[in-house]
Amino acid sequence: MGNPMEDRIARSMAEFEERRAQIMDLQREFRSTSVTVTAKDRSVEVTVDAQGNVTGLRFLNAKYRSLPPAELAAVLMQTMAEARAQVRGQVLEAFRPLSGRSIGEGEGLDWDRLFGRLREEGLPVPPVRPPAPGTAARPGLADEITEDDERENR
């Protein structure tokens, strides 16, 4: 029978490699992803890539010629913003299954849930909560993100 910690590490590494491969596939897919949006007045069409860069701009009729410069600029900016919002939504939706939000559900890591089974097996685990400010240096891991957020809020 193998070491439980080594087994968990091996499973975690396999999950990591699977997740990494999925992310690489998504990145390749997004290299060719684009969104095209037509302005509400149908005067202009804007295409953006997955990074939000404008890759195409077409004037669909002669209406743009009669628009005052400020209005044409506003139509272009609004259409670009809509295209960027749509492509951002597509990218976020595609990455959602890979986001790992199940642990802690967006409230930071749930250390008790993450390390609970290891603790039950009697294996050493990092502290669940960081020590109070002003205490001695802590051994093991702590939720550094939470600590950074706490410092910023002071």
Of 95 and 148, more confident:
95
Average pLDDT value for residue range 105-130: 59
In 3-state terms, what secondary structure has residue 143? coil
- Give me the residue label for tokens 């939504």: 89
Rounded to whole angstroms, the Cα distance separating 83 from 60 reads 16
pLDDT at 56: 96
- Summarize pLDDT for 58-95 with one digit per residue, the tens: 999 888 899 999 999 999 999 999 999 998 888 877 77
Residue 34 forms beta bridges with which residues?
A: 49
pLDDT at 141: 46
Collapse the DSSP code of 44 into the 3-class scheme (helix H, G, I; strand E, B; otherwise coil) and give the result: strand
Can you give the pLDDT at residue 96? 74
**Does residue 104 contact residue 110 with C-beta atoms inside 8 Å?**
yes
pLDDT band at 19 (very low <50, low <70, confident <90, very high): confident
pLDDT band at 100 (very low <50, low <70, confident <90, very high): low
Does residue 103 have a pLDDT over 80? no
| Whole-angstrom Cα Rg for the chain | 25
Q: Which pLDDT score is estimated for 21?
A: 86
The answer to whether residue 123 scores a pLDDT higher than 70 is no
Place of tokens 């089974």: 117
